[in-house]
Chains A and B, each alone.
Chain A
């Protein structure tokens, strides 16, 4: 049984890749992402941690771009290019970790809310709706303040404030899958709830989960940038948002130090745009209804 299913899945995957390869926007996004992921992985090899040490910085305060410092220096004379490369690592890590939390909660809640009937299901839908309607940033600020600033807490806060959209999507998909005859067949053969949800519903909603994941990563990275800018992340971990926070609080704006502000923002835009492009391309393939977007 596994071989037939496995073969079918491998075939579906190769068909997916053929379609994706012809999507120009999606491929552009994928290439941009590849470059950033490479930077994130290679950052510790290419850069010695000394470059980030405030006490060992050799540049001047707010130096404009030059040959020695292609993107200029920050308020303590560190190279902004090196800060950015290191920041890629932190921003992407936080983004991916928070997305995993968000997807796991969203998929679990969505499948359960779609599978079960009765009070429990209503409660899950109610909680989902509550998280959907409550404004994200104020809620995240309140949670982050209570937990205290650290990278781990930032991941947790973003994870538990961003799963609701996924849950609603997965619930709708689960309900449409549950109406299919093979679910009825498996139920007639005595399959329990757990077996139905993990063996029949999950594989079917999974392509949608993946497409939704890439869109979620984009939003999560924006959220990370915003929360770090507000000082809710680890002050010692220079994510892109934290770099912007330092630029803002050390007066780079009033000094006109555009080289300190421009690059982190461009990185955020590129990564978010890349994830959005890949996600929308995947969605066009996985879910034909989304073809208008």
Chain B
């Protein structure tokens, strides 16, 4: 599930020991086809899972909601169609399955289109900052493993790694948003902007930025722990390579050996793993957006499951899967580009 486990288990990692035959084009095509098959299974799974249950599906679709008789009758008409007909309708356009969100009474694709941008802003900022800081920490810790910096930084990152991200979010919110332990509440307690502020003006951007600080810091701390641990492990691996001994034998200074030889090679797996970590990133987004009422896809997921709003839940699951499978594909293709050994 997470990066740490994947690196720590010490199995022959498919990324480190690529076994690729044939031309680059064939490799690319096969990877794209695999990604598409994976997503096809998500769509099929998504469709049948909610229809596998015994009992009246109307109950599941409307549990805990007030719906008028006309809406329920419409829903029943849709659900009474033959299964294959529903399936064709669903796969022809999974984002517009003909059944609206039961919570918002609006088409699901419309909701997703609205909520996707705050999530991209939040996650994008957090991932970029976390990878820069995490890689820097990993380099410093991994170059002298067992040193004082390594002990402090690995201890801290392991602790951060063990935290539920929403708990860190709640604590930061109490201390810096509400105010506790003598610290005045300085940051907004939730939302993406102060109601009434025009977010298209420069002042509005600052306002959004102001709201971004706490949720972004929360995610940043959790993600950087993962990235730092991966970078550290990868650099320690690289230190054992013989070409570093050669570089030293040439008389290069330690800093040069690190900067010009070890780090570029150690970065390779780390950068791909950052892309591979999107599945883990998504988990943080769902809970942290909930804590800060950040109006993105994560909060939408929370709202959908509290219903539960089945059509919306299906759509959100599909969106997250597309994002994660897409990021995985990018990671694999990126590896072909940056590591010439894979192409042979």
Partners in one complex: yes
Q: How far is the CB of A260 from chain B (nearest CB, A)?
A: 9
- Considering only residues 293-344 of chain B, those with a C-beta below 8 Å from chain A are 301-302, 305-306, 308, 310, 313-314, 316-317, 320-321, 323-325, 328
* A31 on the B face (CB < 8 A): no
B38 contacts A130, CB within 8 Å? yes
Complex-state Cα separation, A215 to B317, whole angstroms:
27
A265 contacts B189, CB within 8 Å? no
A145 contacts B313, CB within 8 Å? yes
Q: How far is the CB of A156 from chain B (nearest CB, A)?
A: 14
Other than the given A231-B305, A253-B189, 7 more pairs (CB < 8 A) read A141-B313, A146-B49, A229-B164, A247-B170, A253-B170, A258-B181, A264-B167
B38 contacts A165, CB within 8 Å? no
Chain B facing A: main interface SS: helix
Chain B positions 208 through 230: 1 when the CB is less than 8 Å from some CB of chain A, otherwise 0: 00000000000000000000000
A261 contacts B174, CB within 8 Å? yes
Complex-state Cα separation, A222 to B283, whole angstroms:
11
18 A-B pairs with CB atoms under 8 Å apart are: A133-B279, A137-B283, A138-B321, A143-B49, A145-B305, A218-B162, A219-B2, A225-B167, A226-B283, A230-B290, A231-B305, A248-B291, A261-B170, A268-B167, A273-B158, A290-B8, A290-B10, A293-B4
- Considering only residues 162-221 of chain B, those with a C-beta below 8 Å from chain A are 162-164, 166-168, 170-171, 173-175, 178-181, 189
* A35 on the B face (CB < 8 A): no
Chain B positions 134 through 158: 1 when the CB is less than 8 Å from some CB of chain A, otherwise 0: 0000000000000000000000001
Chain B positions 1 through 25: 1 when the CB is less than 8 Å from some CB of chain A, otherwise 0: 1101111111110000000000000
Listed in ascending order, the chain A residues whose CB lies under 8 Å from chain B are: 129-130, 133-139, 141-143, 145-146, 162, 165, 168-169, 172-173, 212, 215, 218-219, 222-223, 225-226, 229-232, 241, 244, 247-248, 253-258, 261-262, 264-265, 268-269, 272-273, 276-277, 280, 283, 287, 289-293
The 4 A-B pairs of least Cβ separation, nearest first, read A290-B10, A265-B167, A272-B162, A293-B8
